[in-house]
Amino acid sequence: MVKNKKGGSSHKKMARKNVAPKGGYNKKLRKAVVEGEMYARVTAMLGGGHARIICADGVERTLVIRGKFRGRNKRDNTLKLNTFVLVGLQSVSFGAVIQKRKGKLEKADLLEVYREGQKEELIKLPGLEKILDDESKIKQQEDLGFDVMTASETFMEEVISEEDKSRLKHNRKIEKERKKMAKKVVEQDKVEEKKIEFDMEVDWDDI
């Protein structure tokens, strides 16, 4: 260990193990590889070391924030609304020991907090559609080269689709009536033609 020759007010105040470097650690993105690990997004902060999350399987769960993510090193693990996290399902980790209480959400342990810079890499992974917010969905579809609509735009599209269906039904009805009238006209023309032919065959002078 290096001898402290300076000391006093200019000396380092905190242990390096408890201080995350500015900008965070440049580490490899941790992915869900073990059974029971799942990506999720924070939808509400509940306090008391708990948060509400929506998981990649579309199920809402309660996130348990352990002391590792609540101490001095919280700087790089700050949770807020729409933060992406990696969680471990307690039902898988503890098996039959953990039983879901009636009316209570299933619990999941916090394993990793993803930074904003890692979020762009995460949304490129398949199977995350159920946890993405509208902004992330737009970003994902732009990266894939598709056009995606927000919830309000989807609603308007559905309304327009209903109008199109109604208009198409009306047009079909008009087309059916038009064909019916055309058929009637053709039949009348045939009757007139037969009448004319009959008149031509009969010599009214002979009668």
From CA 37, how far away is CA 92, in angstroms rounded? 9
From CA 108, how far away is CA 89, in angstroms rounded? 4
pLDDT at 41 (0 to 100)? 92
| Percentage above 70 pLDDT, the chain | 60
Contact 40, 61 (CB under 8 A): yes
Over the stretch 17-75, which tens digit does the pLDDT of each residue have? 555 555 555 568 888 888 889 999 999 988 888 999 999 888 999 999 887 777 665 66
Average of per-residue pLDDT across 96-117: 77
Q: Which CATH number fits domain 31-148: 2.40.50.140, 3.40.50.150, 3.10.620.30, 3.30.390.50?
A: 2.40.50.140
Give me the residue spans of the domains in the chain: 31-148, 149-202
Average of per-residue pLDDT across 129-135: 73
Pick from 80, 81, 41: which is nearest to 57 by CA?
Answer: 41
pLDDT at 146 (0 to 100)? 43
From CA 85, how far away is CA 77, in angstroms rounded? 10
pLDDT at 167 over 50: yes
Average of per-residue pLDDT across 136-160: 55
pLDDT at 175 (0 to 100)? 86
Single-letter amino acid code for the residue at 10: S
